[in-house]
Structure 1
Amino acid sequence: MKYVFCMLMAGLLGMQSQLSAQALSYVDPAISYQRILLEKSGEGSYKQIGNFKVIGTPYLYGNSFKGNVYTPAEKAENADISYNTYNQQVEVVQSGATKPLMMSLQDVDSFKLIIKDKNGTPEVLSFINASQVDKSKKLFMQEVYNGKRFSLLKAYSSTMGYVSTNYVQSELRQFDLIVDYYYFDVQKPGIKKLKISAKNLKSEFSSVADISAITSGDDFEKNTEFALKEIFALLNSK
C-alpha cells in the first residue's frame, strides 16, 4: 500500500491542480491523487455505504500520516492520522494502539498532517475546526495563508458521485472530492466562500486593493493557489 501511495504521489505532485466546477487549468493535488487512484483501482475494491458500493477513497490523499491532534481536553502528538473528507471525521492511532480512535468534528479543535512530496520534503498541513469560527461551517478547513487581517482557508469534502464507465451496477458510486476556498476577515464576522474567478475576486476585494496584476498573470490559471497566496499577501500589506 505504501508503494502504491508513493507512486501515486509522485505522479500527481508533478501535475497542476484544478478547482472543481471552475474553468481553470489548475487541479488540486488531492483531486489529482483521487483521479489516479480511481484509474488504478477500477471497480475491484469498494466501501459499503448504505445501499451503495463506493469506489475510491474518502481519506485525504488516501492514507494515514504522522501528525498532531488537539482537542479541548488534550492533545495527541506524533500519531497516525487519517482525515475522512466524506464524514469530516479524524481517525487517530496512537503509539501502542491497534484500532483508530474515531473523532468527530465537535471532538477536535485542530489537527496537523505531515505529508512528504515526491522529493521526500515534508509539508505540514494545518486544519482548524471551522465551526468554532463560524457555526454555519460544519467542516474542517486547511489554513493556506494566515494574515494579520485576511486569512485564506481551503475546505475538502467528498460526495458520492456516479461512475461514468458503469452502465450495469446501479448501486455503484465513486467518491468525488470537492475543493473550495474561503476567507476570514478579522474585521467582519464569519467565514466567507470565495468564487475563484478574476472578476469575482477583484470585486470582492476592490475596496482593499487592486489585485488585477495577479489575476491577469499566468499563475492565476496554472497555479491558482499560489496566486491566491499572493493576493492575500497583498491584501494584508494594506
Structure 2
Amino acid sequence: MGSELFHCFFLEIRYFTVMTPEILILGLAWYLVFVVSLTFHEAAHAFIAHRLGDSTAYNSGQVSLDPTPHIRREPIGMVVLPIISFLANGWMIGWASTPYDPNWARRYPKREILMAVAGPAANLILVIIAALLIRLGMLFDIFYPPETITFSHVVDVIREGRALAGIGVIVSILFTLNLVLFVFNLLPIPPLDGSALVPLFLSEQNANLYKQLITRPAFSIIGLIIAWQLFGFLFAPIHTLALNLLFPGWHYS
C-alpha cells in the first residue's frame, strides 16, 4: 500500500478576451516548462526515496526525467486540466504526485523529510540554471534587464529574431515558474512538501498526532486554500529579491 506526495500548481498566464496565436504560443511555452519542471520535481522525490530505501516510486518508473511515467500517473493534473483551464480562462491549474511507502516514512522520519525537500530543491536548481543562462546571455550581449518585468518577461533581447525572443521567454518562464514552485511547496502547510518539516518542532506525541491529522482529505483542501492565500503575500517580496540578485545594480520593487 502506498501514499503520495501531492503538488498543486496554479499560475495566471494572462487575462485575455480573444485567443490570439501569440497567446496560444505563450500558453504552449508555459505548458512545456510546466511539464519539465514538475517532472524534475517528482523525479527528485522518487530518486531520493529510492536512495534512502523506499523503492515504491522507482518501481513505478518515476526515477526518470522522462515525463511519460509522471503523466501516466496523473494525466488529469499534468495534461487535461492545465490545457482546459488555460483555454477557458487564460491560466493553468494542475498537479503531480509521487507514491511512497507510509510504513517506511514512519520508520525513518528524517528520511521522509529529505524525500520531501528534494522536490523544492530540484526547483531551486532549475531557478539557478535559468539565472545562469540569463547571466550568460547578458555576458554575450543577447539579454538585458527590462524596465518592466512580468512572469513571462524577465529579460529583453538585444538582437532581433524570433528564435532569440523565444529563448528569452522560455528562460523567463523557467526562472519564474520554478521560483513559484520552490516557494509554494516549502510552505509548512499540508499537503505541501514543507509540511514534512513541522514534526521537527513538535514532541514525539504531537508529531504522531500531526501526521495522523494531515492524512485526512479535509486538511489537505483547507491547507491548499490557506497556502494559496499566504503565498500571495510571500511571493512578491521573494520574487523582487530574486530579481535584484539576478540583476545587480537594478532596483526592482
Please, what TM-score do these two structures have when normalized by structure 1?
0.25
The structure whose residues are more often helix, as a share, is 2
Q: TM-score, normalised by structure 2?
A: 0.23
Report which structure shows greater RCO (CA 8 Å, sep ≥6).
Answer: 2
In proportion to residue count, which structure has more strand?
1
